[in-house]
């Protein structure tokens, strides 16, 4: 197994546990996939996140036989919309499907999230659509998810949950968490009144501004060099201190009485 695949499998497992700990995907709810060249890695069906291991992640080709998979366990029952989104959106490198409380509450109301807050722009438009209901794991649900998502970065699934996508796993996870935060604010706003909705033009301007705002792997990569330099600096300081001690010991006057 190539190093890249091993690292991606481990990252999927780690992110599944973080989602569970954050209350976004309780029990075995939700699933994560990530693009790997001409294939897709996806979490297996019905495995609690605390028991999930990298070798359990299923591998599915993006082209060729539809629905084919390799691995010790079957892929998530929602493999179909993961695969279809990957096929429809070459820009998508990872998909996070979850059942967070506020997103799911709005999904049960079949309500889209409107632009009551400017942070909706990070999802690519003035609204996050909510599809109508379709049974889990079905072709119908997959078609609704692909259409509801369009070219945006999130969609609510009617009476079900949410999907967030990104160019890589870090960004998709970030958006999944931001989506629930946005849903929380919107839920509170509509619970007490009628929120003011930003115009499509204003959201469009913020969308453009967000294009220069990066998160996830690129940000961590940019931050890594200073940390490494700091560690190297500490190591050099420690080495210099040891050298000074040795130098001081060598300069100790001869004939000094021992005690």
Which position among 38, 78, 143, 208 bears the catalytic label? 78
The three-class DSSP label of residue 69 is coil
For residue 202 the two structure tokens come to 């204003």
Listed in sequence order, the residues at least 6 apart from 253 whose beta carbon sits closer than 8 Å to its beta carbon are none
Question: Which pairing describes strands 94-98 and 161-166: parallel, antiparallel, or unpaired?
Answer: antiparallel
The three-class DSSP label of residue 234 is helix
Tracing tokens 């591998």 back to the chain, one arrives at: 59
Tell me if residue 78 is catalytic: yes
Instruction: Say if residue 4 is exposed, middle or buried (CB neighbours under 10 Å; 0-12, 13-18, 19+).
Output: exposed
Instruction: Say if residue 76 is exposed, middle or buried (CB neighbours under 10 Å; 0-12, 13-18, 19+).
Output: buried
Distance, CA of 81 to CA of 139 (rounded, Å): 8
| Catalytic annotation, residues | 78
């Amino acid at each position: 197994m190539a190093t890249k695949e091993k690292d991606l499998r481990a990252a999927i497992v780690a992110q599944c546990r973080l989602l569970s700990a954050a209350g976004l995907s309780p029990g075995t709810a939700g699933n994560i996939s990530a693009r790997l060249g001409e294939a897709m890695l996806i979490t297996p069906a019905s495995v609690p996140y605390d028991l999930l291991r990298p070798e359990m992640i299923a591998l599915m080709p993006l082209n060729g036989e539809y629905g084919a998979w390799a691995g010790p366990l079957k892929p998530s029952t929602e493999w179909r919309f993961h695969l279809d989104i990957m096929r429809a959106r070459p820009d998508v490198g990872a998909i996070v499907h979850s059942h967070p409380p506020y997103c799911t509450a709005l999904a049960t109301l079949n309500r889209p999230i409107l632009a009551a807050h400017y942070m909706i722009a990070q999802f690519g438009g003035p609204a996050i659509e909510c599809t109508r209901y379709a049974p889990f794991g079905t072709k119908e649900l997959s078609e609704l998810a692909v259409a509801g998502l369009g070219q945006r970065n999130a969609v609510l699934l009617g009476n079900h949950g949410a999907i967030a996508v990104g160019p890589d796993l870090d960004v998709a996870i970030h958006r999944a968490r931001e989506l629930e935060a946005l849903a929380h604010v919107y839920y509170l706003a509509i619970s007490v009144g009628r929120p003011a909705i930003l115009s499509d033009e204003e959201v469009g301007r913020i969308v453009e501004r967000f294009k220069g705002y990066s998160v996830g792997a690129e940000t961590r990569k940019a931050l890594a060099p200073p940390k490494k330099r700091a560690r190297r600096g500490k190591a050099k300081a420690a080495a210099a201190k040891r050298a000074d001690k040795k130098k001081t010991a060598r300069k100790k006057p001869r004939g000094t009485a021992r005690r």
